[in-house]
Structure 1
């Protein structure tokens, strides 16, 4: 398994960010091919210097993640970041480790 975590910095206008993220960006992400799971949530408000929102995209493999992001839907979702994530975002590629 392979996860991509997207850590969004705190926006200047949280309401506008939320509106665009929920109505536009989430539907784009849900169109990604090979995506096995997509979850997201806001960081606790009592941590004002922390990231604002964290998203996790899960794939069977890194190759699937790479192919997904290289697709038409993947390129559209990445291009959409400039429409709402002006404060920036950090993307982490994390292969899952198995403990047996």
Structure 2
């Protein structure tokens, strides 16, 4: 069963600086994570209930829970996590889901 790590980002004060770092530094680090099948970055464009609480959502796909666990323990993932905490600690919510 596919496991996804989903990162939900609240809108930063400086959107352009955030996106520059996100796309040019952070996502290349994420791409090195072992067992990562794909990563999809989604821009939030609205909400049926008013202003959306997030402006960006990234889905990182892993084949199963075992591959996900191995990936999370890797030095490559630790490097991506360290970067994340350096530029988005107060903005990010991380959740782990299984596709039905």
Q: Which bracket does the TM-score occupy, shorter chain normalised?
A: 0.7 to 0.9
Once the two structures are TM-superposed, the CA of residue 22 in structure 1 deviates from its matched residue by: 0.6
Query: Structure 2-normalised TM-score?
Result: 0.87
Partners of 2:56 and 2:15 lie apart in 1 by: 10
Partners of 1:14 and 1:45 lie apart in 2 by: 16
Once the two structures are TM-superposed, the CA of residue 10 in structure 1 deviates from its matched residue by: 1.1
Report whether the alignment pairs 1:64 with 2:38.
Answer: no
Query: Structure 1-normalised TM-score?
Result: 0.87
Report whether the alignment pairs 1:7 with 2:15.
Answer: no
Report Cα offsets for 1:40-64 as digits up to 9, x if no partner: 1211167644201100000011221
Matched pairs, number? 97
Partners of 2:42 and 2:92 lie apart in 1 by: 14
Query: What is the aligned partner in structure 2 of residue 81 from structure 1?
Result: 84
Gaps of 5+ in 2: none
Partners of 1:13 and 1:49 lie apart in 2 by: 18
Please give the root-mean-square deviation of Cα atoms over the aligned residues, in Å: 1.6
